[in-house]
Structure 1
Amino acid sequence: MQKERSANKSSSTPTLSVAFLRAKKDLQDYEEIPGITIEYQSSNPMQINLKVKPSEGYYKNGIFKFKCEIPEDYPNRAPEFKCIPKIYHPNIDLEGHVCLNILRNDWKPSLSLQLVFAGILHLFLQPNPNDPLNKDAANDLAKYPLDFKKNVERAMMGGYVKDEQFDKVLEGNFNTAHTRYYY
């Protein structure tokens, strides 16, 4: 009889997955990174909204939002990030997929969400043309850095680069009269 009670008792208590507990711990241990804002519901650390606001570089003054999904087998598998606005970036494709080595081949269970957040910020401070998802942007960055800079500015204002229109991601009201591009 006692075995039946303990079996019934344990089945009525919700069990939290290892992924849930680890994600919750990673978020509790998170130390603020300048330029990064995270939002999540404490009841569900498996879905995180990330906001990146670079303070320097090509993407300065932009606001880039990401959705992060923590997989059920986290930390054995890397979290999945998707950039919400359509942006012009060598390491982020037009669908928002992110190319960051620690989210792919270099993922280890010992890595934390904090490190991934810092890695995503780093992509905006130092875009990498050698590991591209957007080959056009990577080619421009590698071969024509001045054109790349103009393309980033145009795209961040919600303009077109080649035949592709991008989402406006600039923070605040900027006087952009001096950065008009006609093609």
Structure 2
Amino acid sequence: MSNKGKEHDTNKQNEKTPLMRQGSAGGRKQLPAVPDADTQLSLASKMIDKKTSTAKGNHSYGPFFLEYSLLAEYNQLQKQKLPGVYVIPSAKSALFWNGILFIRQGIYQEGIFRFSLHIPENYPDGDCPKLVFDPPVFHPVIDPETGHLDVTRAFQKWRRNHNHIWQVLLYARRVFYKIETKSPLNPEAAVLYEQEIEVYKQRVAESIKKCKDHVYDSPNSDDPHAIKFSPWEVDVHGDAREQVLTPKICLSDKNAQTSGLSWIDRGSTKVFSRDDSANA
């Protein structure tokens, strides 16, 4: 048989055989799974260093991948759900985050401390992010003049794909529950904590009062994402309070079995406000 005859038979056979995509199941293209947060951070860090060459020259896309990496860090932070820690990136720069820390127990209980997080421009290959309290808090590892927290004692060297921003915020919260006095930035606070604990508690109370007295002050910047507080107003906050205190009842699950007991009366935040002795 001639070559032309062979080609003719082959073409007929191809017409009868349906085309199948190689590497696909059932002829359908399968999309890869969405990578987790750690994988996203790893990919972003690798892409930060890349440069793309075009006909017009070399263009670095590092700033865009840096912002993507910081977005992945912020998403990972939200999953951690650190108690009492609230942060939001600035509307002007992803390298600056506004934050506030609520302390709920211990020596610094009832503390409301504002802070800012400064991320280096060469993140994640640069130094550790800096955390500054404003106003400064009376604490052995916080500079009494600048408000800088000594983060380097927990992160002596910032390592890509190993250290994360949420860990810096976790450390900032932890220092108020576990007091460290070695190599202090505030020697006076360290000495008082070691030798005059009652005087130390008094100075801490004064620092907490100072921070709470300025909690309603307007932020020093015009950043739209700056955290602001306003005094209680029924017309402004009343509806939100009612929504928080009103229990959600799902009609479809009204008769469903529930686990645990609650002695808090509806519409109240007081513990043991409901009397169940009549039903006992």
Q: TM-score range by the shorter chain?
A: 0.7 to 0.9
Task: Name the structure 1 match of 2:110.
Answer: 61
Call closer, same or farther: CA 1:143–1:106 in 2, change over 3 Å: farther
| 1:1-183 superposed matches below 5 A | 6-8=54-56, 11=59, 16=63, 18-30=65-77, 31=79, 32-41=81-90, 44-76=93-125, 77-94=127-144, 95-100=146-151, 101-103=153-155, 105-109=156-160, 110-158=162-210, 167-168=211-212
Aligned equivalents of 1:78, 1:97: Cα separation in 2:
13
- The structural deviation recorded for 1:68 is 1.0
Distance 1:49 1:168, change over 3 A: same
- Which structure is higher in strand share? 1
RMSD, aligned CA: 2.8
TM-score by length of 2: 0.50
Cα 1:108–1:15 change in 2 (3 A) is closer
Higher RCO (CA-CA < 8 Å; seq separation 6+): 1
Counterpart-to-counterpart distance in 1, 2:120 and 2:109: 31
Query: Alpha carbons of 1:156 and 1:80: their partners in 2 closer, same or farther (altered >3 Å)?
Result: same
User: What is the count of residue pairs matched by the alignment?
Assistant: 159
Aligned residues of 1:19 and 1:71 also touching (Cα < 8 A) = no
**Contact between 2:112 and 2:212, CA under 8 Å: does it hold in 1?**
no
* In 2, Cα distance between equivalents of 1:136 and 1:43: 37
Runs (5+) with no aligned partner, structure 1:
1-5, 159-166, 174-183
**1:130 & 1:143 partners in 2: Cα distance?**
14
| Residue aligned with 2:163, SS | coil
Cα deviation for residue 9 of structure 1 reads: 9.4
